[in-house]
Structure 1
Amino acid sequence: MSAKLLALLFSSLADTLYMVGVSSLIAFLFGLPLGVVLLVTEKGQLLESAVINRLLGSVVNAARSTPFIILMVLLIPVTRAIVGTSIGTNAAIVPLAIAATPFVGRVIEGALREVDGGVVEAALSMGASPWQIIVKVLLPEALPAIVVGLTLSVINLIGYSAMAGAIGGGGLGDLAIRYGYQRFRLDVMFLTVVVLIALVHLCQGLGDLLARRLRRDGRN
């Protein structure tokens, strides 16, 4: 492989890391409160509200059931309004973040649901407010499970970022399509897949390591 293609590979990898990193941060910032609200507004929970829970649940389910490639096309006007263009890495961040936020919300909701109800009841009996229970009980207790779920979210975003290359989103997916598929360079496509697989394994390994340490610290 030529030095030019190697430079393109590293540049595309940097674009992918940028897209995944920024969209993961945005998805977490919006998905965390979304997941908390989804849980605490359920029947029998701290802030029970059937209307809010059903409305948010419907929106989340609708967003999660929409294929990402279709979502990217549907969001082109929104992307242009936010970043001024629908092509490039910055443009790809918009649909990536919007696609990941509902997933992160469900991840947070599921992690919080695993917290022992007895711990919450004990906090309530001591006069803790719903906000105090969320911040000081639910989130700390669910942190290992949240890390595992967020790791899965990041891995999904790596796959989504590769799909973003199909409509000019940049990154490794764009490299595989333009320099691999369209130019019949199987070596480029193969190398791109290898890099993506390595990236997924790295994220999974780091996420598992952090989750294990958090569980171990929680037992001490």
Structure 2
Amino acid sequence: MSANIISLLYEATLQTLYMVAMSSIIGTIFGLPLGVFLATSQKGEMLSAPTVNRVLGLLVNATRSVPFIILVVAIIPFTRAIVGTSIGTAAAIVPLTVAAIPFIARLIENAIRDVDSGLIEAARAMGATPFQIIRKVLIPEALPGIMLGLTLAVVSLIGYSAMVGAVGGEGLGDLGIRYGYQRFMPDVMLAVVVILVVLVQLVQSAGERLAARVDKRAPRNRGQ
């Protein structure tokens, strides 16, 4: 493999990491409060707003049901309005983020709903407000599940980032298509696949370690 190809692989890997990192951060900023609201706003719950909950739930489900490659094409006008172009790394971040927000929201909603209802009732009995319960009970108790959910989201975004290379995005997917497929260079395609597998393994391992570290129920080894 030539030095030029190695340089292209390095640059494409950085582009992929940038796309995934930015879409993960922005997706979490919007997806976290959305997921918390969905988990606490059904009828009779702390932030009871059943109509809003149903509308947001429908929007989340509708966005998640659209195949990612179709979503990328469908929101091209929105992407152009945000970043001024529909190709390149910056443009790829927009559909990645749009796909990440509802996905992260549902994962966080599920993590919040897994919290023992007895803890919520105990906090209510002590006079805690809904927002105090969310901040001091729900999120801390759901943190291991949230971490695992975010890990799953990042892994999915790595796959999406490779897919977006087919429609003008940069990164490893674009490199694999242009060199590995169109120029019949199987060594480049193999290198791209190996790098993606390594990235996924690293993210998965790191996420599981962080989840275990913040899990209050996990046994701790003492005196080591």
Shorter-chain TM-score tier: over 0.9
Q: Which amino acid aligns with 1:54?
A: R
1:72 is matched with 72
1:89 is matched with 89
Give per-residue Cα distances to partners, 1:96-152, cap 9 Å, x unaligned: 000010000001100000110000000001110001000111000000000000000
Partners of 1:162 and 1:175 in 2: how far apart?
9
What is the SS of the residue equivalent to 2:149?
Answer: helix
2:61 is matched with 61
State whether structure 2 residue 38 is matched by structure 1 residue 38.
Answer: yes
What is the SS of the residue equivalent to 2:215?
Answer: helix
Partners of 2:95 and 2:82 in 1: how far apart?
11
2:139 is matched with 139
**Residue segments in structure 1 that go unaligned for 5+ positions in a row:** none
CA contact (8 A) 2:212 2:218 kept: no
RMSD of the TM alignment (CA)?
1.1
Superposition map of 1:112-123 within 5 A: 112-123=112-123
1:158 is matched with 158
TM-score by structure 2 length? Answer: 0.96
State whether structure 2 residue 209 is matched by structure 1 residue 202.
Answer: no
Give per-residue Cα distances to partners, 1:58-77, cap 9 Å, x unaligned: 00000000000000001110
Partners of 1:42 and 1:51 in 2: how far apart?
8
Partners of 1:176 and 1:150 in 2: how far apart?
26
Partners of 1:121 and 1:217 in 2: how far apart?
20
1:42 Cα deviation from its structure 2 partner: 1.4
Q: Which amino acid aligns with 1:143?
A: L
CA contact (8 A) 2:20 2:157 kept: yes
Q: Which amino acid aligns with 1:196?
A: L
Partners of 1:98 and 1:107 in 2: how far apart?
15
Give per-residue Cα distances to partners, 1:74-97, cap 9 Å, x unaligned: 111011111010000000000000
2:49 is matched with 49
TM-score by structure 1 length? Answer: 0.98
Give per-residue Cα distances to partners, 1:133-178, cap 9 Å, x unaligned: 0011100000000000000000000000000100110000000000
Partners of 1:211 and 1:104 in 2: how far apart?
16
Greater shift after overlay, 38-47 or 203-212? 38-47
1:5 is matched with 5
Partners of 2:158 and 2:19 in 1: how far apart?
9
1:49 Cα deviation from its structure 2 partner: 1.7
State whether structure 2 residue 120 is matched by structure 1 residue 130.
Answer: no
Q: Which amino acid aligns with 1:91?
A: A
Alignment identity in percent? 60
**Residue segments in structure 2 that go unaligned for 5+ positions in a row:** none
1:45 Cα deviation from its structure 2 partner: 1.4
Q: Which amino acid aligns with 1:80?
A: R
Moved over 4 A (4+): 216-220
